Homo-oligomer: A and B are copies of this chain.
Amino acid sequence: MRSPDSPINVGLLGLGVVGGGVLSALSRNGSTVPRSVGRPIRVARILVRDPDKPRDVEFDRQILTADAASVLKDPSIDIVAEAMGGEYPALDYIRTALEAGKSVVTANKEVMAKHGPELLELAARRGAHLLFEASVGGGIPILGPLTRSLRGNEIRGIRAIINGTTNYILTKMSHEGTEFADALREAQELGYAEADPTNDVEGIDAGYKLAILASLAFHTRVAAEDIHLEGISRLTGRDFRYARELGYVIKLVAIATDRDGSVEARVHPALVPEDAPLAKVDGVLNAVEVEGDLVDRVLFHGRGAGSMPTASAMVGDILEVAWSMANGLPAAGFLTLDREVSLCPISDLVTRYYIRATVLDRAGVLAQMASILGNLQISIASVIQKEVGLNDGTAELVITTYHSRERDVQQALRELAGLDVVKEIGNLLRVEE
């Protein structure tokens, strides 16, 4: 037991974009930080790969170390703040810290999506806190509100834009008519996208975040690998133009819905009505819409990434733990992830669809296509036919449907692709009202 005035010591893992933000945030306003805690907070040690590398932030370089054990096993470290990212070695470090009874604050969506339930159990067993607000939506308070303020609700669903990189690319494509490859290159140049953009562009990052959100919202364990993922690389400028003509914008949406104990969870590009709240979330911004039985819909909107916004969430969690410690409150878990639910396969999904196809520009084509759709009970809501202008005798046809079942639509696509008059199925997108 140290004295009530002694500082609460934070061991920081990683001094990259997020770790640097946490360090400067905790160093900057000594005035407000202790105000809400009652004890000073100090970054006592920082784990880095190379302690000799030059750094932008000013601080006592003595606290740098390349030895993980000197952070994770030092009894003077109260809170471990993990800002490394990636599954390994972050997972091992978090486990070691929790085993040692230290509280952990992390921004690591991959670790929490894949190992969250196990780590939360470990934390509960060891009487430690494990907080991870920063893992979803950057600086936007979402996990706190979802699990505390909204906990009187039965959460029915989550609809979110939770990947800033893809939202930047889609906004470029939508507003400026940029094609995917160019928008991606621009995002890379601005530092919004990584050299290997797979994690963002293929929806993997959003899938991790949705797994965390859905698990907390539905009091269960939604595994990242159970989430249906589709990326944005097949989208073309034409899809955006057709969408606009129909009154929609295209967004990479992360949707989880609880249908009476059957959970549907998916990440894919979708047509969203242009006046829907999510349609107006542009650039690198994120937004999460939560629907609960009492509250109806609430929307949380802000910066979903970046050094200081992510630090905002991590520091909020650090202060929560520090406040708890300063007041002698034991850690008590309030997350329950033990509800049994079944995962609804994507083939069971019922929604509206957008089909873009290149067809021979001749009479009777639409009739043949409509017949296939009709036989599968898929009703057509609208048709747009355009000359593509290639002068090769083809035209482009865009069909939107009323609510239909995914497996029927997939069957229809296979049959459509088999028609002589259909040269190519360009894209299949879901339409989310």
Contacts and interface: CB of A to CB of B under 8 A. Distances in A.
Interface of A: 21, 25, 29, 32-33, 35-36, 133, 139-141, 144-145, 147-154, 219, 277, 280, 292-303, 308-309, 311-316, 318-320, 323, 327, 329-330, 332, 334-336, 339
A193 to B, nearest CB: 20
Contact of A294 (B147, B149, B301, B312): B312
A370 B303 CA distance: 42
Q: How many copies does the complex hold?
A: 2
B141 A149 contact: yes
Nearest to A35: B336
A245 to B, nearest CB: 22
B277 A295 contact: no
Contact of A145 (B25, B145, B309): B145
Query: Mostly helix, strand, loop or mixed at chain A's interface?
Result: mixed
A143 to B, nearest CB: 8
Contact of A312 (B152, B280, B299, B330): B152
User: Of residues A141, A294, A295, A309, which shows the largest number of chain B Cβ atoms within 10 Å of its Cβ?
Assistant: A294
20 contacts: A35-B336, A35-B339, A36-B219, A36-B334, A133-B149, A139-B298, A141-B145, A141-B298, A144-B144, A144-B145, A144-B149, A148-B320, A151-B316, A151-B319, A280-B280, A297-B303, A298-B301, A298-B303, A300-B300, A327-B330
A33 B141 contact: no
Contacts of A25: 152, 294
Contacts of A319: 151-152
A336 B294 contact: no
Given A320-B148, A334-B36, A302 B294 contact: no
